[in-house]
Amino acid sequence: MSSSSSPPSSRAVAIFRKHASGQLDGEPHMTTDDFVAAIAPPNEDYHKIARESYAVLFSAADRSQKGLVSIQDWIYFENLLKKPDAEYQIAFRLFDTDGNGVVDYDEFIRYYNQNKSDNSFPFDWNAPWASLYCGNKNRRHAMTYDQFAQMLRGLQGERVRQVHPLSLFLPFSITPPSLNFSELLI
């Protein structure tokens, strides 16, 4: 996950300057509220995702983990959003809470448990599929970005399999009446 070498757009710089109200070492920086205002303007309709939920992205943009986003962080974040795997890279940055470039099992489980919904189905992180990525309960290991992204790509299928093990054998047109897919995907 190298930083992008694209020159900053005048639009990105203007948005940063408009919203940055914090200061660090005499330089303008964005606070969490500034960041949310910049990526989710208050006058927009946020019917699917609450506007406040965008604050979670702040920690992905705050590369120095100082609680403020610099112009360099903002430009990096803007360029990151343009990448085809932006969702995976942002998720990786969020789960890599200590910023060391890998997601270890404890970081992963802690962040996962903090952010899962109260009504989500339980997930067995000791199952054979999960052990491919996280290691088994006797020997855990850290995930690189590539391993983490591969794990995310398969996670939905494994969640379906764990919630309803027979789902692998059902035709796609049949959904068990007791299975609420919207809860499964959260």
Buried b (16+ CB within 10 A) or exposed e, 136-170: eeeeeebbebebbbebbeeeeebbbebbbeebeee
Instruction: Tell me which residues of the chain have a pLDDT lower than 50.
Output: 1-4, 173-177, 179-186
According to the model, what pLDDT value does residue 103 have? 96
Domains and CATH numbers, the chain: 1-83 (1.10.238.10), 84-186 (1.10.238.10)
Residue 143 DSSP one-character state: B
E strand residue ranges, the chain: 22-24, 27-29, 135-136, 139-140
According to the model, what pLDDT value does residue 166 have? 57
Nearest residue to 9 via CA among 75, 86, 80: 75
Alpha carbon distance 97, 108 (integer Å): 9
* Inter-axis angle of helices 86-95 and 71-81, nearest 10: 130
- Pairing status of strand 27-29 against strand 135-136: unpaired
User: Does the pTM of the predicted model rise above 0.85?
Assistant: no
According to the model, what pLDDT value does residue 163 have? 83
Helix/strand/coil for 40: coil
